[in-house]
């Protein structure tokens, strides 16, 4: 079970000397009214299992250039990279390298999650979200918004954000997310017309419970 958690938890980057990316991201998110940090569960396994899981992926195109995707899924979603490759219509996706992460986001350490594309000022990365995030009973997406050492779980800066707000924030940052429905076999892209209804239902549900 621990191995499965490691395979789909936030991308972990080996700590390197100080950088300002964490402060920059926190400043950006504060300006967007994203709530963080929120209290963490003292049971670390339960805390990790509550997070949305993000993978930063790369795919080689026929032109030999690379395309990058930040995939964020519900903690309960099961998938493999071949599924992701097929639904995104690319030959093969794989975990992006540390060099790719640095070049795309100027991030040199810490967790890389759905919020990290806010640091992608050149529009290199495409955001991809799991439809299940919008069906979650919790109504909130939990994840780290940037930290100093991803291996030290005591210092994560965990946020809680309604899924519709996460989508809107990414859209406003010119990273309009692609939505994948992993409950279909094989997984499929969610069309805009269908997703607009899902997005509205997510927002209405959140507002009615607050």
Please give the chain's pLDDT, 210 residues, in tens.
444 444 434 444 333 333 466 777 788 788 776 888 899 988 988 988 999 999 999 998 877 789 999 999 999 999 999 999 999 999 899 999 989 999 999 887 788 899 999 889 899 999 999 999 998 566 789 998 877 777 777 778 899 989 999 999 899 889 999 999 999 999 999 999 999 999 999 988 888 887
Rounded to two decimals, the pTM is 0.85
- Pairing, β 66-73 against β 125-130: parallel
CA distances from 204 to 38, 139, 154, 201, 209 (A): 23, 11, 34, 5, 9
φ, ψ of residue 120 in degrees (nearest 5) = -85, 85
Task: Say if residues 56 and 70 touch (Cβ distance below 8 Å).
Answer: yes
If phi > 0 it is left, if psi is from -120 to 50 it is alpha, else beta; for residue 27 that is: alpha
CA distance 117 to 70: 8
CA distance 49 to 6: 11
Q: What is the pLDDT of residues 161-209, one digit of tens each?
A: 899 999 998 998 899 999 999 999 999 999 999 999 999 999 888 888 8
Question: At how many degrees (to 10) do helices 163-172 and 192-208 cross?
Answer: 130
């Amino acid at each position: 079970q621990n191995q499965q958690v490691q395979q789909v938890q936030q991308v972990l980057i080996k700590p390197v000397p100080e950088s300002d990316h964490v402060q920059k991201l926190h400043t950006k998110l504060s300006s967007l009214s994203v709530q963080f940090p929120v209290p963490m569960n003292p049971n670390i396994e339960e805390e990790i299992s509550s997070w949305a899981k993000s993978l930063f992926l790369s795919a080689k195109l026929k032109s030999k250039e690379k395309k990058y995707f930040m995939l964020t899924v519900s903690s309960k979603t099961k998938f493999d990279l071949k599924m992701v490759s097929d639904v995104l219509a690319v030959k093969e996706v794989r975990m992006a390298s540390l060099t790719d992460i640095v070049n795309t986001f100027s991030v040199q350490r810490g967790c890389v999650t759905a919020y990290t594309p806010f640091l992608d000022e050149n529009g290199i990365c495409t955001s991809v979200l799991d439809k299940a995030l919008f069906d979650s009973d919790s109504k909130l997406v939990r994840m780290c918004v940037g930290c100093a050492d991803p291996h030290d779980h005591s210092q994560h800066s965990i946020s809680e954000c309604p899924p519709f707000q996460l989508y809107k924030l990414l859209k406003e940052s010119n990273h309009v997310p692609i939505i994948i429905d992993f409950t279909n076999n094989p997984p499929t892209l969610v069309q805009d017309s269908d997703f607009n209804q899902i997005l509205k239902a997510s927002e209405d549900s959140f507002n009615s419970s607050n």
